Amino acid sequence: MGVLYLGSLLLGIGCMLLLDHRFRLFFWRDATAAAIVTAVGVLFLLAWDLAGIGLGIFLRGEGTIATGLLIAPELPIEEPVFLLFLVLCTMVLYTGARRMLERIPARQREREKENA
């Protein structure tokens, strides 16, 4: 049971990468830029976590589906993995939404402009 959460996160990350691969959205479009965005995103959110932990706002649970391994006080090993998933999910959603919006025929966009 201890690895259920970590396993689910990794599975989620795998699914995001499959979507990315299938539609050439993020890493499969510009690997360098994607790597930078991912690193910046994870570090930013991790800093937020650490600030919350430092201020005594965030508390780790004793859930049985977590490994219980800590990389810092109150910071389980799953957290950076979760943040990685969140960043990938965010970017796949955003790049996917951009793709969909670009597919809207130009004519329709002009109509929108006229209406606006």
Partner 1 sequence: MTYLVLALLFIAAAVIAGAAFTRAAFARPPFAGKDGAPGERGRHWKAVGLAFAALAVLTAVFDSVMIGLELFHYDPAHILGLRVGLAPIEDFAYPLAGVVALPGLWVWLTRRSRAPQPNLKGLVPQALLASRPVSWINTAYPFAAAMLLTTREIDWVVIVGTFYFLIPYNLAMYGINDVFDYESDLKNPRKGGIEGALLQPHLHRPMLWLAAITNVPFLVVLAFAGGPAAWVSLAVSAFAVVAYSAAGLRFKERPVLDSLTSSTHFVSPAVVGLALAGANVTPGLLILLAAFFLWGMAAHAFGAVQDIEPDRQAGIGSIATVIGARRTVRLAVVLWLVAGLAMLATPWPGPLAAIIAVPYIINCAPYWNVTDTTAARTNVAWRRFIWLNYGSGFLVTLIFILQWSLTS
Positions touching partner 1 (CB under 8 A) are 5, 26, 29-30, 32-34, 36-37, 40-41, 44-45, 48, 51-52, 55-66, 78, 86-87, 89-91, 93-98, 100-102, 109
Location of structure tokens 């943040």: 83
Comparing CB distances to partner 1, the nearer of 22 and 32 is: 32
Residue 104 φ then ψ, to 5°: -60, 125
Closest approach of Cβ 55 to partner 1, in Å?
A: 5
Closest approach of Cβ 86 to partner 1, in Å?
A: 6
- Report how far residue 70's alpha carbon sits from residue 3's, in angstroms, rounded to the nearest whole number: 14
- Report how far residue 36's alpha carbon sits from residue 17's, in angstroms, rounded to the nearest whole number: 16
Comparing CB distances to partner 1, the nearer of 102 and 114 is: 102
Location of structure tokens 């690997």: 31
